[in-house]
Amino acid sequence: MKTKYKDLTIWITGASSGIGEALAIAFAKKGARIILSGRDQERLDTVKQSCKRPSTHIVIPFDISDASQTKSAYEMAIAQAGKIDWLINNAGISQRALIMDTDEEVERQIMEIDYFAQTRLTRLVLPDMITQGGGKVVMVSSVAGLLGTQYRGAYGAAKAALHMWANSLRAELHDQGIEVATIFPGFIQTNVSINALTGDGSAQGTMDDATKKGLTATEFAKQVVKALTKDEEYIIVAGKKEKLATRVNRVSPPKLYKLIRESQVT
């Protein structure tokens, strides 16, 4: 059945920049009404104006790591939009630090943002989706959630946890009309590495070469829209090397990790 985007309200977190911004613009172009969320009101307003038919979209800024703000944001979304058809859990933060150099509190911060904050918002939205007869939950995981690499121990663990949680959600709620898709981005040209946390919790502040050479956010959004329109549930959007690594991992994990150990991962 063809997706009728003009009938959909899509809530996108982390929509103030990067892939969240690109997804908002792409889905708005398809005709969907977008709820844009993130912490920066001014940036969200700018993204809204970049979307087709800006007056139809809604901006709800909040800190997703704060449970009370999340609950208030959900209530505002329902009050203003009336319904949420799709929830795209895109907000998150990355990591660039070796395990032995990372404070436990930093690992907890990453897990809180990249896992607990996502599942918390999803649990708030699900009852309404079930009542209205169905909906779609989209989790933005990472290729790092499929392959453990250096400098991303806690990040990869959080993204892998999100992936497994999504699998369980899909199994539990399929018969109640809830579709679940998980996206695994590889290197995308965004500020993700600039904002990534180092071992003491400070931001890295620089862009990785691999990120700089990755897919553009616009190309990422184009591939995601196409995949979700086709109701795909397991979506890897990455360069050739990352896709090859995921295939090698399925065939021979020991071979992959030998290659990873020998590679220059930063």
Angle in degrees, CA 46, 50, 55, rounded to 5? 85
266 pLDDT tier (thresholds 50, 70, 90)? low
234 among known catalytic residues: no
What are 19-64's pLDDT values in tens digits? Answer: 999 999 999 999 999 999 999 999 999 999 999 999 999 999 999 9
Of the CA atoms within 13 Å of residue 78, those in its CB half-sphere come to 13
**Percent of the chain's residues with pLDDT above 70:** 98
Q: Please tell me the pTM assigned to this model.
A: 0.95
3-class SS of residue 87: strand
Query: What would the DSSP string read from start to end of 24-62?
Result: HHHHHHHT-EEEE-SS-HHHHHHHHHHSSSGGG-EE---
Catalytic residue among 115, 155, 234, 257: 155
d(CA 203, CA 109): 13
Is there a contact between 8 and 83 (Cβ–Cβ < 8 Å)? no
Please, which pLDDT band fits residue 74 given cuts at 50, 70 and 90? Answer: very high
CATH domain 5-239 topology: Rossmann fold (3.40.50)
The pLDDT, as a whole number, for residue 218 is 98
